[in-house]
Chains A and B, each alone.
Chain A
Amino acid sequence: MYARVRTASLYGLESREVHVEVDVGNGLPSFSVVGLANQSIREAKERIHAAIDHCGYRFPQKRITVNLSPANRKKEGSHFDLPIAAGLLISTGQIVPEGEALIDTAMIGELTLDGRLEPIEGALPLVIGMQRRGVRKVVLPIGNCREAESVKGMVLYPAETLLQAGEHITGFRRIAPVAACGSPPNAKEEAVPDFCDIRGQEMVKRAAVVAAAGAHGMLMVGPPGVGKTMVGKRIPGIMPSLTDQEKLDITQIYSIAGLLDPAMPVVARRPFRAPHHSLSSAAMTGGGSRPRPGEISLAHHGVLFLDELPEFSRQTLDTLRQPMEEGCVTISRVQDTLTFPARFVLVAAMNPCRCGYYGDPVKPCTCTETDRLKYAGKVSGPLLDRIDLHIGMERMVYGDIDAEREIKAGKSSHALRDEVEEANMRQKQRYSSLSIEFNAQLPPDKIGTFCRLNDSCRKLVKDAFSRWSLSARAYHRLLRVARTVADLSGSASITEDHILEALGYRVPDMSRMRGL
């Protein structure tokens, strides 16, 4: 006998339709799964056998063939347990679906040995894909129900056990449907660290505002303890609030990575990822034998913070190039090419030299000139060239000057975020017909249109160019940053002041240190 159950499989974030076909026929008892199923699916037999027994059904001692169609694509995931088990029970007549119950219903879920349905990873993207294909109903583990509520128009049937699912299919005891409302559950916005915690450091705070407003990458160079990590942590807090779609995007990624909190399975604030510099390229991008979202995808719509930038391996840093340019990462495998989104704001930090104290007003630097240049050279030119804002930080010296004047606490994150959101609004208007959102994403061919310069600005840029031997890429960076600075000051056109400030964020010339 034959049965067919609808389910889906994940390829990166994309979910594709899979039909589980179960055929039970005469012959020596065997159980084989075909259709390029991976190891975890082939192990399903043991789980299904035990689960079926526990639920009071009977595992047939016949020749069982399970086909996951289409047969030419690899399948993986533990969520095939339920559809295979259901298919098996239907094909042996132990469950008779009521009417056309299964036509537009899909099933996903992992089974435990005692027949319970375990929540799976990637439920959200799976269900999103189903909704796009017109599958209206899905039977899923109760632990994944909350997650899937964000998908508008779906009717969810959360089941706790295989038995419950079975009884629902036969119509004997229907599971109460949960209508997905379409918006992510309201997560209380957790407290994010605030900028007013940082005293002084007005220059880097301003740079942070520019970075957040235009989604520009930023590199902070300064001695240990000056506050680089503190600043990095506070940047997500001044970026504009997430839209519903963005929350959905991030939640999908975290769902696949298995990082969602079951109690509140939605990511409602901008991620801040700070991987240690010993991480591998695979961990950064998401490659490896089993492609999963890497740090860059986990930082999607948020901040990727790389502390001690020179300590990262060249290879690892090199992998950042594609995502920084295209906003996604493509992982190629023999059978498939997977694409994970990875649009993040890169915030990096490093010391000025190996000992960390070059330029410090008090502590002497113990590095030779060669050491220093070598250390600076550890970060590749191409990567530095892709970072829009370069800012140096110094330790505050509390000497006589500051005895009279107490350093006031700066503006709060709330106030800074207001500035950022205003600038953001201008960008939204400007790019409404394009697929980009922020000034930092402007491709070179559009820069001419949106970053027009008047004659005096052009002359200024020309002067700067000859004085500092800037490159063409530096020119584009300059215009993008100037555009953001102009947006922050509420100006429709770029003026000389904006260009001058943007020039202040250029890559510093580390070689000409004569006399300093």
Chain B
Amino acid sequence: MDPVLAYVWLSCCSNLNRRTKKFLVELFNGAESIYGSSDSELEGCLEVYCEDARQRKRWGFHLDRNLEDARNCMTRASAMGAWLMHYDSPEYPALLREIADPPMVLYGLGDPSLLLRRGIAVVGTRRASSYGRWAAFQIAARIAECGTPVISGMAEGIDAEAHAGCLSKGTGTIAVLGTGIEHCFPASNRKLYRQIRQEGLILSEFKPEERGYASYFPLRNRVISGLSSAVVVVEGAEKSGSMITAGLAAEQGRDVFAVPGNINQPNSAGVNRLIYDGAYPITDLDTAAAALGLSSQRDQRLRESLSAEEMRVMDIVKREGMISRESLCTQAGIAAASVASLVTILELKGLLQTSGTKIVVAK
């Protein structure tokens, strides 16, 4: 039996919850075996799981072996150019496999190789303040500068800014949807959806035609944090989806970072509480980048892209420790006009820092 089909069938089974599915897959070594086994065999193995006992007693245990639904999903997916990735395939992200209730199947539009890289989630409220939007964009951009993809939910507000910030630096972003991949929710993000489809990756665990239900969004949030090595919450009210994501992240053992906000703003009450409860506060982009383990990667990437003259200037500044433009001019033998532009471009790249006449290597 086609493993993909088996996993799609398994994901469509509504009698079992996701933890149970994971348990069964591990036990039976793949969805095909589950399909091939009888209901009584399965029931026997599930006796371990008390949670399902009540459900079993209520509905009777029977898994519908009809594959029509599953085949339908697969057809619809390929019709729109999406690919499928199942729990057992080698490309399935390792981090995601480790969570207690991973998706059995992922439908994807875009570049699957993004899943191989270490990703960082940036999430937050739908009703973001202008500060929140700015912060989300900047943080996402900073993360993206190192080639690290930003993962978010393509909701309006913080999520949208995070995706935009990532794309602005030319790094693909990953959007995990609370609907099937056919739908773009919210409709206002249609342009973003198209852009991410082209330059990043759109993921969904739901059937392609599935519209969004309120309960799907917390489910989707667990995938966001499941895919990431760290989660940054930018703005969120006390009882918001972002707090749920943060909670899930903590359960999954991911680092949680939060952007502090004004204490008179309901939207910041959640993030401030996270900090109180031990989340790492983001006080400035550079320290945050260091805490996220980013700067070294970025400098590496940057240093590789320098021109010969830029390298020469960097070498001289490193050697001298602190130097003025004038001395650079004399020592490097470059004309004054060129020294001015070289120092400025290196400053913009974040490799040098100036103050008055002094130039030093940026920390």
Contacts and interface: CB of A to CB of B under 8 A. Distances in A.
Interface of A: 200-203, 205-206, 221-222, 352, 358-359, 392-394, 396, 401-402, 405, 407, 460, 463-464, 466-467, 485, 489, 497-498, 500-501, 503-505, 508-510, 512-513, 515-516
B290 to A, nearest CB: 16
Contacts of A508: 354-356
Contact of A203 (B329, B331, B345, B356): B329
A333 to B, nearest CB: 44
Contacts of A392: 324-325, 356-357
Contacts of B358: 359, 516
Contact of A201 (B322, B326, B335): B326
B322 A516 contact: yes
B50 interface: no
Contacts of B167: none
A516 B345 CA distance: 20
A403 to B, nearest CB: 13
Given A200-B330, A206-B337, A515 B344 contact: no
Contacts of A202: 326, 329-330, 335-336
Interface string B338-355: 111111110110000011
A394 B341 contact: no
A121 B107 CA distance: 90
A504 B330 contact: no
A509 B326 contact: no
Contact of A485 (B325, B337, B356, B357): B337
A349 to B, nearest CB: 14
Most buried by B among A202, A359, A464, A505: A202
A500 B355 contact: no
B355 A203 contact: no
Given A202-B329, A359-B358, A401-B331, A501 B340 contact: yes
Given A394-B326, A508-B355, A203 B340 contact: yes
A396 B331 CA distance: 12
A512 B330 contact: no
B357 A206 contact: no
Contacts of A203: 325-326, 329, 336, 339-340
A510 B342 CA distance: 21
- The list of the 9 closest CB pairs from A to B, nearest first, reads A500-B341, A392-B357, A504-B340, A206-B336, A202-B336, A500-B344, A501-B340, A501-B341, A503-B344
B87 to A, nearest CB: 42
Contacts of A515: 360, 363
Nearest to A500: B341
A352 to B, nearest CB: 6
Interface in B197-250: none
B348 A467 contact: yes
B281 to A, nearest CB: 20
B360 to A, nearest CB: 6
Nearest to A392: B357
A285 B324 CA distance: 38
Nearest to B349: A463
Most buried by A among B325, B337, B338: B337
Nearest to A205: B336
B326 A463 contact: no
13 contacts: A200-B326, A221-B356, A352-B356, A392-B357, A393-B357, A394-B327, A460-B348, A464-B348, A498-B341, A500-B342, A508-B354, A515-B360, A516-B322
A205 B337 CA distance: 10
Contact of B356 (A401, A497, A510): A510
Contacts of B337: 206, 485, 489, 501
A485 B322 CA distance: 28
Interface string B82-125: 00000000000000000000000000000000000000000000
Contacts of B341: 497-498, 500-501, 504
Given A504-B341, A505-B340, A508-B355, 15 more contacts: A200-B326, A203-B325, A203-B336, A203-B340, A206-B335, A394-B326, A405-B330, A407-B330, A500-B341, A500-B342, A501-B344, A504-B344, A510-B355, A512-B355, A516-B322
